[in-house]
Amino acid sequence: MFLLNRGSIGLDIGSSYIKTVKLKEVKGSYELELFDVHPLPPELIVDGSIIDSLRLADALKEMIRNVKVSTKDAVISIAGHSSVIIKRISLPEMTEEELSESIKFEAEQYVPFDIEDVNLDFQIIGPKEEPGQMDVILVAVKKDIINEYISVVKEAGLNPIIVDIDSFALENMYGINYEDEPGRNVALLNIGASTINLSILKGGISVFTRDSSLGSNLHTEALQREFNVTHENAERLKRGEAVENVSPEDALSVIEAASDEILSEIIRSFDYYRSATLHEDISEVILSGGCALLQNFPGLISERSGIETRIAEPFRNIRIPKKFDLAYIQEMGSMMAVAVGLALRKQGDR
């Protein structure tokens, strides 16, 4: 009986934390079953590539021992920039089966890598205004990156059943927690230690994604440089703690200065989206990732972009049983956005 529908864990392997979530579906709604945040030593993953697979597998094993996972099935994900291409393209109308047959051929002109080196996937979004054409989201991921992640996860004793993309996981997290309004543009912005995932939804449907290799490491590095502190102490300063002779106030001004590059990148993407869509308005930013926990950061985004910015609440519509520390889960919530999205995936999904 227990072999049936055990569900799978959502395993978000970030460069600074492994985030694990498992959900249980109870009468059409969700209940939290597992929640874990496990820190990783710096430099195991750089630019989305696994540099030290042995130590990463060890960290995963340790996480598994600590949380006593009830299943080996895991849904993992990969971020964009160097190894993932996500493009919205226009193709002649055809069925899903037909496109499965011809995707390789169609994709060739959009993918800057050898087509034999990538795994391809697509989603048909629907017909375009022009008759006979349809919109398709094309996804190409370098096989060697997928294989790196799969082999580490297997090495740790887990069974990777789906390899997802960060921004799609964010969209799934959004889907169960927020209401869509037709025509309204919402920007899902996930900022981790070394990655920004941006996904803009219009009426709940993804219309734009962009990943960049910038993140809150910029804050950590600036603090280390400015105050000559260790990585650990810079992390404590980011959490608003005092360290050695450095006060949280001193840290804050360095943090704000280091935010500039991240903010400019975000504003550039918003501007690009607005110009590509002939000045569509973005109504709201839903901010997730560890960077959302940085004091003042959501305020800086709304100040610079002029767009109302809210911190994501991935557990908004998920029941949290009493055995969990609700305050901690709510506090860390924004970091878990991708993991929640992954935990929502089911075997057989595409």
CB of 3: closest distance to ligand ATP in angstroms? 32
Instruction: Find the binder of ligand ATP among 148, 167, 235, 314 (CB under 6 A).
Output: 235
CB of 294: closest distance to ligand ATP in angstroms? 4
Q: By C-alpha distance, which of 65, 41, 69 is closest to 55?
A: 41
Return the H-helix or E-strand segment holding 162.
strand 159-165
Considering beta carbons, is residue 142 or 238 the nearer one to ligand ATP? 238
Residue position matching structure tokens 């569509």: 280
Instruction: Find the binder of ligand ATP among 160, 289, 314, 333 (CB under 6 A).
Output: 289
Stretch that binds Mg ion, among 28-36, 65-73, 121-129, 191-199 (CB under 5 A): 191-199
CB of 103: closest distance to ligand ATP in angstroms? 28
Among positions 292-331, residues that touch ligand ATP (CB under 6 A) are: 293-294
Which residues on adjacent β-strands are paired with residue 86?
139
Told to check if 339 binds ligand ATP by CB under 6 A, we report no
CB of 195: closest distance to Mg ion in angstroms? 6
Distances (CA, A) of 217 to 51, 66, 73, 199, 271: 17, 27, 31, 21, 24
Say how many residues make up the chain: 350
Kindly state the tokens that stand for 153: 């996860």
Told to check if 83 binds ligand ATP by CB under 6 A, we report no
Q: What span, in angstroms and rounded, lies between the C-alpha atoms of 7 and 11?
A: 13
309 binds, options Mg ion, ligand ATP, none, Cβ within 5 to 8 A by partner type: none
Told to check if 14 binds ligand ATP by CB under 6 A, we report yes
Stretch that binds Mg ion, among 127-135, 144-152, 189-197, 203-211 (CB under 5 A): 189-197
CB of 312: closest distance to Mg ion in angstroms? 13
Stretch that binds Mg ion, among 13-21, 97-105, 205-213, 341-349 (CB under 5 A): 13-21
Told to check if 333 binds ligand ATP by CB under 6 A, we report no
Q: By C-alpha distance, which of 207, 174, 176 is closest to 188?
A: 174
Distances (CA, A) of 100 to 120, 124, 269, 317: 10, 11, 31, 35
Considering beta carbons, is residue 91 or 160 the nearer one to ligand ATP? 160
CB of 307: closest distance to Mg ion in angstroms? 22
Query: Interface mask (CB under 6 A) for ligand ATP, residues 186-225, using x and -?
Result: ------xxxx-------------------xxx--x-----
CB of 152: closest distance to ligand ATP in angstroms? 14
Distances (CA, A) of 70 to 34, 74, 153, 347: 9, 11, 16, 16
Decide the pairing of beta strands 318-319 and 9-13: unpaired
Considering beta carbons, is residue 140 or 189 the nearer one to ligand ATP? 189
CB of 206: closest distance to ligand ATP in angstroms? 19
Q: 72 burial class (0-12, 13-18, 19+ CB within 10 angstroms)?
A: middle
Told to check if 192 binds Mg ion by CB under 5 A, we report yes
How many CB atoms are closer than 10 A to CB 105?
9
* Those residues with Cβ within 8 angstroms of residue 267's Cβ, 6 or more apart along the chain or in another chain: 304, 305
Q: Taking the chain, what is the end-to-end CA distance rounded to the nearest angstrom?
A: 26
Q: By C-alpha distance, which of 227, 262, 208 is closest to 86?
A: 208
Q: Which residues bind Mg ion (CB under 5 A)?
A: 14, 192
Q: Which residues bind ligand ATP (CB under 6 A)?
A: 14-17, 79, 192-195, 215-217, 220, 235, 238-239, 289-291, 293-294, 335
